[in-house]
Chain A
């Protein structure tokens, strides 16, 4: 899994190269569209890039040409077009909407003919494409910000969030399964005759955590390398992708804390569960909050400053993924990051202390899982 993710990304870049090399046609095809001008005055600008417009005198002539395959489609400009703005388009193909290229060609044809002779050609071009907006973000001192944001900024955090969820869930599941297996086949008694419950718990959490961290580190380090490779060979949108500032550091910090929290929870569940399947059902309740930030990614993009994201940033079960996503959408105030990390750290310690008690009490209990009330009573009695 560790190497598969960057290898798959490398493969995707290679496949893209291969397919784009094969798929690119040697000669650009020209599409022919017919039109019937009942309004009058639409006889110029019939070459719209890859689309050529041919005038027909009547709709019947156009239909005949369409049926014979001489044209791809045709449209009729009614006599009252200037006042109502409606044209009728005729095609043999079943389509949800008209292709964008066709719509653009027809729109430009109509607007160019409407403005012909009334405004200069350069103005016509500007009317057809009035807005090509470039957003520049400034810092609070008025200087140009090093990080400009945009969709390119969200891609890596979003992908990393998904990988973080996988890494945390997979690591916690390994821990739970291992513990359940040892409990089910009674190996736990032999282990506890050699090491203490605390040593067993710590060893498992740190051992599996180290493996998970190595996995995350490989992914984090490979991202800039793959980005460079992808942007030079694929270019386009890929070259706008940037890594948010502090992403690498925060990615590792939140993986460590997020993993520790879910690992101690998994260990506690493993101790009280009578078998692996039961344990996995219980752990599902705790891993669900990890996924919540992903469900609301689109809302986060639309309303990045809503206070609900602050709550999800500080709540320990959602904070690892929420912070990663928010890094790609907006700035996170330092106090929120500090509070989030502090709450997550304290949660890890608190749950660990509870888990050690549960571990010792229930690890050797086989058969029916203890009820929640019983667990709380035994924790209170110490």
Chain B
């Protein structure tokens, strides 16, 4: 059963389609990347999944059924704009928001302490939210999102404003969620995190889908006809190579249309150079993002 199934949802505001015939699914035990430029419709799509707003048409099923009060308790949502009660203490904030998800006080407190300990936040549990730094506040926001053990977790820009240490902490916790069989939807602009974490992605632009599927498969689709080579010795002229681009620590060999990477490898081996690394070049997701979005902007 997919964790999320979105079928042809449409949402318009003042005659402008903000989300236009969007369809995708998210399975359990995966991290799904939802990416797109600003104003693409990501947050609106997320809000429709959360039943915060209703689509004009189309259907959303969460964990096999239309979202109800009971199934809302199986969701965890971390919105892009952080928000907690400033005057409330950390532990009280987590317990209160967990209670809205149907957790009893005792269980919520126990789980809250466990998560606070796991993230090194236990010494701060009696502090008010306003006393925390931005990064610490975000960690607490994330703990609020998962304290009730949801089956589907939706995270909108979870890394914004975080330092590298806390970024790594969150990444490891996302991976843990996936390993536990949860479905995680990650909406972010940080392409390196998407590449590192996501199994499948959906790229939205102008409310519609422009890229959808397995990340590795998408990257291979946009693969450039070149190879990356780290070697020792003199390279010289290699038939089938139209251009050599020197990068830090490696050289990129751009192939002509008639030469395959396999043929180039054979020719390189025959030159007698010592090959330390040979890799078929695939573009970073950032580059694909810019290419696709730029094309759509015309």
Contact = CB atoms under 8 A, between A and B. Distances in A.
A196 B83 contact: no
A186 interface: yes
Contacts of B53: 364
Given A364-B52, A364-B53, A193 B83 contact: no
B72 A193 contact: yes
Contacts of B81: 185-186, 189
B72 to A, nearest CB: 6
B77 interface: yes
B97 interface: yes
A193 B46 CA distance: 11
B50 interface: yes
For the complex, would chain B's binding face be called helix, strand, loop or mixed by DSSP majority? Answer: loop
A188 B83 CA distance: 8
A364 B13 CA distance: 13
A193 B50 contact: yes
B86 A196 contact: no
Interface string B67-100: 0010011010101011111100000000001001
Given A194-B101, A364-B52, A189 B84 contact: no
A190 B83 contact: yes
Nearest to A188: B83
A195 interface: yes
A226 B242 CA distance: 100
B52 A192 contact: yes
Nearest to B87: A181
Contacts of B75: 193
Given A182-B83, A194-B72, A196-B69, A189 B77 contact: yes
B97 A194 contact: yes
B244 interface: no
Interface string A240-269: 000000000000000000000000000000
B8 interface: no
Contacts of B85: 181, 187
Contacts of B82: 185-186
Interface string A157-190: 0000000000000000000000001100111111
Contacts of A364: 47, 52-53
B144 A192 contact: no
B100 A185 contact: no
A277 to B, nearest CB: 17
Q: How large is the interface on B (under 10, 10 to 19, 20 to 34, 35 or more residues)?
A: 20 to 34
A364 B54 CA distance: 13
Given A190-B79, A190-B144, A364-B53, A195 B86 contact: no
Contacts of A193: 50, 52, 72, 75, 77, 79
A50 B83 CA distance: 74
Contacts, number: 48
B155 to A, nearest CB: 12
Contacts of B83: 182, 185-190
A335 B186 CA distance: 62
B34 to A, nearest CB: 16
Interface string A188-222: 11111111100100000000000000000000000
Contacts of A195: 69, 72, 100
Contacts of B52: 189, 192-193, 364
A87 B194 CA distance: 103
Contacts of A187: 83-85
A181 B83 CA distance: 10
Given A196-B69, A364-B47, A364-B52, A189 B79 contact: yes
A237 B87 CA distance: 48
Name, among A192, A196, A199, the residue most crowded by chain B CB atoms within 10 Å (CB to CB). Answer: A192
Nearest to A365: B13
A191 B75 CA distance: 12
Nearest to A199: B69
Contacts of A194: 72-73, 97, 100-101
Nearest to B69: A196
A192 B53 CA distance: 10
A182 B81 CA distance: 12
A190 B77 contact: yes
Name, among A193, A194, A199, A364, the residue most crowded by chain B CB atoms within 10 Å (CB to CB). Answer: A193
Name, among A182, A186, A189, the residue most crowded by chain B CB atoms within 10 Å (CB to CB). Answer: A189
B174 to A, nearest CB: 18
6 contacts: A186-B81, A186-B82, A193-B72, A193-B75, A194-B97, A364-B52
Q: Which 9 A-B pairs have the closest CB atoms?
A: A187-B83, A186-B81, A186-B83, A194-B100, A193-B77, A189-B79, A185-B83, A192-B52, A193-B50
Given A185-B81, A185-B84, A364-B52, 9 more contacts: A185-B82, A186-B81, A187-B83, A190-B83, A192-B50, A193-B77, A194-B101, A195-B72, A364-B47
